[in-house]
Every structure is written in structure tokens, then in C-alpha cells.
Amino acid sequence: MSSNTKIILRIVVTLAIVGLIVLGVWLIWFKPTNELEVFNNLTRLQSQDQDDFETSLKEAKNRTYMGKSKGGRLNYTFTGGDAPASTRPVFVQIKYYRSYMFGGFENNDEAYAPYQDVFNKTTNKNVLGRVFSLYETYNTIDDAFEYYYSYSQLIEEISNKEVKNINSLISSLKSSYNIFNDTFEKKNEKTGEPEEGIVALETKSLTDFNQITIVSEIEALYEKLYNTFFDIIKKYNNLTIAVKDLVTEKVFENNLAYDKKTVTYEMALKSITELTAQKIELTFNDNDNTCTADENYISYLYDVAMINWANLSNSNKINPKITISDAEVQAFAFINENYGEAFNGEKSVFKLTRYNKNQLANSKLDEGLTEIASQYNLTYVPQIQLILRTFYDLGNVPIDPVTSGGTSVVGG
Amino acid sequence: MKKFYSLLILPLIAVFCLFGCGTDRTTTEIKAVYSQMVDTYVINSESNWYFEKPVNSTEYTKMYVTYDNEYGFNDAVLGKFESLVSDDLELRYEQLTSVYARTLIMAYNYYTNWNELFFANIDSKNPDADDLTELYDRLVDFRRQLEKFNTSKLNIEREVKLLGINSELVAAKIDAFNNAYNNLISKVLNFVNYFKDLHVKYFYSDTDVVDGSYAKRAYDEAILSLANFIYKDYLQALSKNGTVQLISIDNAISSSYNIFNDTSFLTTKISQVQTDGKVGLSKLSSTVINALNDPNNANNQRAVSAVNQFVVSLNTFNQYFNLYNKVYDKVSMESFNNYRFEINGGFDGKDATEKHENYIETLSPVDAANVNVLIDFEENKVSAFLNSIYALLDKKFN
């Protein structure tokens, strides 16, 4: 072996040894542990992807209902009479998509509340208009996520499988965020101008396209936006449940102590799980500008709206409030510990439609049970009733299928 | 070479001696140290010391602080000295009672109520020698700190005489004295918390009988838990460079939770500051205790249920306080205090939500998560716990 070869060999061996030492030090001191990886990934999701999405979401929500005519651009004013009559049905459809996403009180136009029959019979129209939306539902999940996320940094031991599961949920959610963002507004990377999506179409000049074609395209995009938003709700709810379960097991050692906030969050996550299992398709009738949604979808959305209301009440962000006292917190903890089947599995009260929830909540135990109530262990029914009445605002509500949201929705 | 190895082994021997050559202590020794401390510092007509010892008992003692009143110091502390020069000075004097005396009595209350029974029966439970030795060591620590505190108290009494009760210069002296008070409360908690752990371990670990004694102990543990929280969240948190500026507590923004601004806490439900300087704690209603002690009492089940609910909330509080303690040292108390007490201008924002957002934005994600754990504990868990204490105190079954 020549001396040059020896020198090269020595250098290679030395570099290999140094490399191994550096790798060892990195593994020992710097490599993030599984626990930190989860927290870091959740942090990245929260501080980057969610920020981008929420910016798009707020811009979409705050957009004037149909935009205004500016400099020869499309005029989306439906009620102003400027738009051709042939585009009106499409405008109505866009309006419904927006109402379901952001609430039913755009431009104080009560007639277009998506839950007309429910809306007509409630005494809390202003509150309902705000909370009966995917937007407020997202905010509720977001509050719950923030809560469990804060405690997730205290997880001390976690398996690779659990990390993989969380990462997969995060990744799936991110992809839906991206679809939503691009559907609303995809900007040109160089110029920063809207290139694709709703915003890009809305800024097209009248002379560029046939107005009906553009409005139809926008309607299709709004449908996609609505479906994607719903998908985000589902995925974000699943992720939050996974983080909550991890925190409950690893930080609270399966002995999470409940308070108003944590009970409200669990009620929300369980209720939203049922909502996201529903068919969400909206059916439009162009002849009379009406919209129909699946009965169950309306029913569960109404339930979730009430939980949104309870969540806003906890933070003193809304009036009138749903008052949650220690009694409801204790009732929830009691049922959770002693009669878990009422909260989980096939007999879960969260699976009941609003009509059936109402029947159970207002069943008089000393005057003969309703069919629904008789399916549960009577020892626990009073606590279940307390929870249902308070969180779903069912106290003293007559058992009435219409009020209970058991019908399809028609408006327009 | 042998010499080299023998040199290596020396530190090991030193470590063994340090940890392995301690003396086991007995209940007799603990009681002797305690009696000596109480006798040294008993309050009587000629002294302003710390322990009130009932005539017919050798064990039962309350602990509180009174001050030399020759120049009106004790009156100022009790809020009875009129025409003090400024609100800030008046507040500083009064916080020695409204904050410190109250916290001290809450910290010491568990020991006051249970030490006599504990020492009368502990030997029959065959306690672990290490447990008693640890208790002894903590008691000695407490006694040493009390000696230091006494020196600080004599100093401030002298300062007040020299400067005058109405001198603005006294404010800084009180801030420094607060630090001595902090150290004393820290050692009292260190001792009483351990005593409580041993008390539960040897007397309550296997019991599932909910009677009057069980309820009283749970209530006393709740008061001790609150004292631990108050010490950590306010007294220790506002300690800086050998001073504690408690004044910030009263300057805190109303939107931020503050136990000393909690209207329920300020009432006499938990504690009251009496005009003679003694601090009293509310007791559970005798009708509740009677109902618990008599299985045939018509209200027995209702009382048991109320106590069980209370114990759940106590465990909840302790569980979250444990998590609070895990993140406490990771949070920069200076910026946290700036936020919640609006010190140094606080954080901008049109309302509480915006101020919170602006504060959180200055933090890294990890720090923000830590701060949110502290805030959640303060704003939700503490007030819920206070409510459960009041609910138990309000139970009367009339």
C-alpha cells in the first residue's frame, strides 16, 4: 500500500470516526424526542398552515356578499337588479353555500337563513344566526385544540405509532387547508396577483367572459369551498380528538378532571363527530330559489350550533348566554365514569337526532317514559337530561318534530 | 497506582457519608424541637412573637405575626392607623395582613388542627424512620427560617421607629421585609406539606369512611392547597432582587384573574382578618359534621354526597396544580407579571382578548403553551375550586 493510499485511508477512517461521534452527540443531545416531535409538528401546523387558512377563511367571510361593481368588473348585486335574471338562481346557490359556511345573517337578510323553519321558531335569532355555521364550529374546535395543545408539551412518553398517527392526521388536514386556500384565491408566485380561484374570477372584466358562465364557475368553486371547509371541520375535529386522547392518557393519566371548559370541549368534539358523519349535499330548486338539505344534517348542525353557543358563553363572548354550572360539570364527569355507554358506542346520546335528544331530555320519569328514555338506565337519566337540556338548550322545549329540526330546510 | 485508586474512591466515601450517615429521628425528638420553638416564640402580654398556645393544651397552636405598636406599626398593618401619607404606603402596611398573615395562617392551619392527634397516635402506626427524619429536618429548617424572620421583623420595627410610620421611605423597607415573609412561608409550606403527606399516608390511605373527621381533613387540605397556590402565583412570582412588590396585586387589571380581587375570597367565607390581629378560618357547619358522624341522620347521605363532590374538586385542583408547577419555572415571570398586573405598561390592546393575543405573540410556541397552562389554571381552575369550597361551607341542612 502506497503512502498516499495510507494517508487517504487514515483521513477516511478519521472522518468516519468523527462522523460517528457527531452523529452520536446529535442523537443524544439534539435529536428531538417523539414527544417533542408531536409538539413541534402541532406548533408548525398552528403557526403556519392554520394562519394561512384562517386568513383565507376570514377574507372569504368578510367579503361583501356578492361583491360590488368596480371599474367595469362583474356586478354581483343580486338584489340590486343589475344582474341578469338568468344568473339569479346561481346567485341564490352561492348565497346558500355562504350561509352554511359563515352564518345566516349576511346583509341582515334574514330570509336567507339556511334553517328557515328552525330560525322562525327560536327566540334567540341573533345568536342562532352566528352559531349556526361551519365558521363558528371551526372556532369551537380551534378553542378545544388550543387547550389540549397547550398541555401536549407535557407528554413525557409516546410511541412511534402514536406519533405516526398524529403526523398523518396533521398531513391530511394540511392538504385540505391548501385546497381551501387555492379554491378561494391562488396567487401568482411572481406578481402576487390572483391567478385562480374565486377571487381571480370575480376580478375578471365583464368583457372577458360571458357573465353567466363566470357566475356558474364561481358557484362551482363555492360548492368546492363549502365541501372542503366541511372536510377541514371533520379532519380538525379528528386531530383534536387524537390530541385530547393523548393528553388525557399521558398527561392526566386517564383521570382528566373536568370543568366547564373541558366538558364543553368534549361535548363539542363528540357532537361534531356526529355532524361530520352526515351527508352535506345541498339541493337547489331553480324554479323557486329554494334549497333543501338532509334532515339529519340540519338536526346535528343545530346541536353543534348550541354547543358553539355554550362555548362562546364560557368565554363571555355572546349574549344571551347558555349558563353552565358546576352541576352539569359533575353530571358529565359522573356519567363518563359510571355509565360510559351513554356517551360512546351505539347507545351514545350524541347519536340521537335533535328530536330524540329533546324527547329524552324532557321525558318525565314519574309520568311514564318515552321510548327513547326507556333505552337508558334510569339511574343515570336525570344527569343525562341535565346535560342535554343545558348544552343543547332543550330546557322546557316542547317535544315537537318541527322545532327539533327534523324537517328539510326550504327558503328563498 | 494503588494510591491513585484510593484517591478516586475518596469522593465516593464522602458521598456515602453525606447521604448514608444521617441519624434517624423519633416522634419524641420532633415534638421536643417543636415545643422548644413554640416556647421560644409564644405570644404573650410582653411579646409580639408568633405562636398562640392555648392554656389547656401542649400541642395546639396558631401561628400569626403581630408587630410592636409603640409607634402605631401594628395599627397600620391592621388598617387602623388613620391619615397615612399615601394610598401606596397604606396598602403596603395592610398587605402584611390581607396577603401575608392570611397566607401564613392558611399554610399553617393544617398543622394547627392535626398535629395533636398525629403525634398522639403515629407511633402505633409503625412509621418509617426515614419519614420521621425527613419531617424532623424540615421542622429544623422551618425553625431556622423563623429565627431569620424574627431578625428581619426586629429590623423593620426599628426602621419604622427611626423613619416614622408615615415616611415614604418605609415602603421600600416593607418590600424587603416581604421577602423575609416569603422565605418564612416557603419553609412553613415545606414542613406542613410533608406533614400532611405523612398524615394521609398513615391515617387516611385506606379509609373510605366519609365522616366528620374525613370532611374536616379534606377541607384543611383544600386550604393548604390554596396557600401553596397563593405562595407560588403571587408571593414567589412577584419576588425580585430581595424584594416583593405586592402592590402590583392591587394594581392588576380587572379583566385578569386575581385571587385577591376575587369578591368571594375577600368575604369572610374562607378567612377573615380580625381587629386584634388574629386571623380566623371559617369552619364547616356543625350540622354537616353531625350529619356525617351519624349514619342515621336524615341528612347523612346528602352530606356524604356533598363531601365526595368536594373531594373530587380538591383532587382536580391538585391535579392541575401539579401541571402548573411543571411549567412554572419555564415561564418568564417578569413578562407574565407585566401582562397580568400591567407592570411597565403591560401589553397594548383594546380589550382583554387583544391584550392576551399581543402578549402571546411575543412568546415562542413553547412559552405560549406554558403561559396558557398557567392562565387556564388561574382563571378557570382556581375560581372553580373556590366555588366548591364555598359550596361546602354553605351547606347547613337547616
Domain ranges of chain A: 29-319, 323-392
Question: Any idea which of A238-242, A384-388, B60-64 has the lowest mean pLDDT?
Answer: B60-64
pLDDT in tens, B214-232: 999 999 999 999 999 999 9
Q: What is the ipTM of this complex?
A: 0.74
In a domain, B269, yes or no: yes
Going by pLDDT thresholds of 50, 70 and 90, the confidence category of residue A277 is: very high
Question: Sorting pLDDT into bands at 50, 70 and 90, what band is A78?
Answer: very low
Asked whether residue B16 is assigned to any structural domain, the reply reads no
Facing A257 at nearest CB: one of B309, B315, B370:
B315
Please name the residues between 304 and 333 in chain A that touch chain B, using a CB distance below 8 Å. 326, 330, 333
Name the residue of chain B whose CA is nearest to A258's CA.
Answer: B316
From residue B324, how far is each of B321, B330, B369 by CA, in Å? 5, 10, 12
Report the residue of chain A nearest B384, measured CA to CA.
A259
Give me the number of domains chain B comprises. 1
More confident residue, A218 or B210: B210
Q: Is B264 on the interface with A (CB under 8 A)?
A: no
Question: Distance (Å, rounded) from C-alpha B249 to C-alpha B265?
Answer: 14
Write out pLDDT tens, residues B133-182.
999 999 999 999 999 999 999 999 999 999 999 999 999 999 999 999 99
B362 in reach of chain A (CB within 8 A): no
Range of the domain at B228: 22-394
pLDDT digits (tens, 9 = 90+) for B321-359: 999 999 999 999 999 999 998 888 888 888 888 888 899
| Cβ count near A75 (within 10 Å) | 16
Percent of chain B with pLDDT strictly greater than 90: 53
First to last CA, chain A: 91
Q: Are strands B271-273 and A290-293 parallel, antiparallel or unpaired?
A: unpaired
What cell numbers appear for B140 in the block? 429544623
For residue A275, what are the CA distances in angstroms to A133, A233, A237, A256, B76? 12, 10, 11, 25, 63
Chain B residues touching A255 at Cβ < 8 A = 319
pLDDT at A384: 95
Mean pLDDT of A183-198: 90
Beta-carbon separation of A257 and B373 below 8 A = no
| Cβ contact, residue pair B323, A154, below 8 Å | yes
- Residue that has been written with the C-alpha cell 369578591 in this structure: B263
In a domain, B172, yes or no: yes
Please name the residue of chain B whose CA is at the shortest distance from the CA of residue A145: B369
| pLDDT tens digits, B257-274 | 788 888 777 665 665 555
Put simply, the answer to whether A150 touches B369 (Cβ < 8 Å) is yes
The percent of residues in chain A predicted with pLDDT above 70, rounded, is 79
Nearest neighbour of A259 by CB, restricted to B323, B381, B391: B381
Identify the pLDDT of residue A412: 35
State whether residue A41 sits within 8 Å of chain B by CB. no
Helix-strand-coil split of chain B, %, nearest 5: 70, 5, 25
Residue of A128 and A111 predicted with greater confidence: A128
Query: Is B11 inside any structural domain?
Result: no
CB-based contact, B369 to chain A, within 8 Å? yes
| Contact between A251 and B323 using a beta-carbon 8 Å cutoff | yes
pLDDT at B55: 75
CB-based contact, A149 to chain B, within 8 Å: yes
Cβ contacts (< 8 Å) between B372 and chain A: which residues?
A: 146-147, 150
Q: Which residue shows C-alpha cell 378545544?
A: A144
Is residue B7 domain-resident?
Answer: no
**Would you call A150 and B372 a contact, using CB atoms and an 8 Å cutoff?**
yes
pLDDT computed for residue A409 by the predictor: 41
State the Cα torsion B198-B203-B208-B210 to the nearest 10°.
Answer: -100
- Best mutation target, B307, B320, B371, to test chain A (most A CBs within 10 A): B320
- B327/A257 Cβ within 8 A: no
| Residues within 8 A of A (CB atoms), B 304-323 only | 309, 312, 315-316, 319-320, 323
Cβ contact B365–A46 (<8 Å)? yes
Residue A48 CB partners (closer than 8 Å, separation 6+): none
Residue B93 has a pLDDT of: 92
pLDDT at B398 over 70: no
Which is more confidently placed, A102 or B293?
B293
In a domain, B9, yes or no: no
pLDDT of residue A237: 98
Q: What is the mean pLDDT of chain A?
A: 81
> Pairing between strand A282-285 and A290-293?
antiparallel
Nearest to B369 among A153, A257, A261 (CB): A153
Contacts with B326 from chain A: Cβ below 8 Å: 154
Phi, then psi, of B40 in degrees rounded to 5: -70, -40
**CA–CA gap between residue B65 and residue A327 (Å, rounded):** 40
> From A325, which residue of chain B is nearest by alpha-carbon distance?
B384
CB pairs under 8 A between A and B: 52
Using alpha carbons only, give the angle A73, A74, A76 rounded to the nearest 5 degrees.
Answer: 140
The Cα B41–Cα B63 span in angstroms is 10
Looking at residue A73, its pLDDT comes to 37
Query: What tens digit of pLDDT does each residue of A20-68 get?
Result: 887 776 656 655 567 778 888 888 888 888 889 999 998 888 775 444 3
Q: What is the pTM of this model?
A: 0.79
Query: Residue A75: pLDDT above 50?
Result: no
Interface test with A, best of B257, B331, B357, B373 (most A CBs within 10 A): B373
Closest-approach residue (CA) in chain B for A327: B309
